[in-house]
Amino acid sequence: MATKLSAHSRNLDCSEAEWQARLELAACYRVFDHLGWSESIYNHISARVPEEDGAFLINPFGLLYSEVTASNLVKIDIDGNTLDGSQYPVNRAGFVQHALFHRHAPWAHAIAHSHTTAMMAVCSLEGGLQPVNFYACNFAGRLAYHDFEGITVRDEEGERLLANLGDRRILMLRNHGPVILGRSLPEMFLQHWSLQRACEVQLATMAAGTPLLVPDDVVAVHQRDLAQGVVPGTRPGQADFDAWVRRIDTIDRSWRD
């Protein structure tokens, strides 16, 4: 983040590393909202708390994404215990999904589950996402799928979620929406943005006519060259995420509170 604020100035008992994670995650909620990816008070984005095993931050259940701030994010552990004294509840579906993946995918720093129209529609298509456009080719052979079992509030579904995710970083919940895992929050954000565009363009193409599939050998070349799109000296997605944070700062800086 371009501007660093002291945790102590916000009357929150946390480390500076946690405060920076709170700022980054709060900004992400506001960016999602600005881009139209929020779903009333539902859905969730989480981020691990640096230097603390099993602790992560998630949105307070009952608030719109536009109301999320660095200080009102809820800090919980993978067993569901609130660690920061927050009076806000946490969505049960959000806890079950995010605690599961934070527990069993230690590489995943940030996780998002969303219900955008385009993503839900593609998750509801028999063939799922197809290599029919520039962005969709990013994900060819890299998505996992999980059959719909109803709202994700039952712990016993976790074993099947993990088995279906395998070694992938995106799990498309059929008839529902994606779960996107990232090694950093900016990386997760960029994957979400790219997948959203892939789904939007696929639906537009299908509405216009018969999609033209990209051959496997061309997909392989495309995926090989994707790294050239990273701004030198930055983490994957960092430049994209920072640009959107600058945008929301021109609209409302209250997420920094």
Q: What tokens does 195 get?
A: 């997948």
The full set of domain ranges for the chain reads 7-245
d(CA 17, CA 217): 44
pLDDT, tens digit (0-9, with 9 covering 90-100), for 19-62: 999 999 999 999 999 999 999 999 999 999 999 999 999 999 99
| pLDDT exceeds cutoff 70 at 9 | no
Q: What is the mean pLDDT of residues 139-161?
A: 94
DSSP 111-168: EEE---HHHHHHHTSTT-S-S-SHHHHHHTT--EEE---SSS--GGGHHHHHHHHTT-
What does the pLDDT read at residue 7?
Answer: 46
CA 255 to centroid of chain Cα atoms: 18
Q: What is the mean pLDDT of residues 115-125?
A: 98
| pLDDT exceeds cutoff 90 at 4 | no
Has this prediction a pTM greater than 0.85?
yes
What does the pLDDT read at residue 134?
Answer: 97
d(CA 104, CA 162): 8
Cβ of 159: how many Cβ atoms within 10 Å? 11
CATH for 7-245, among 3.10.450.50, 3.40.630.40, 3.40.225.10, 3.90.700.10?
Answer: 3.40.225.10
| pLDDT exceeds cutoff 70 at 126 | yes
**Pairing mode of beta strands 55-58, 74-77:** antiparallel
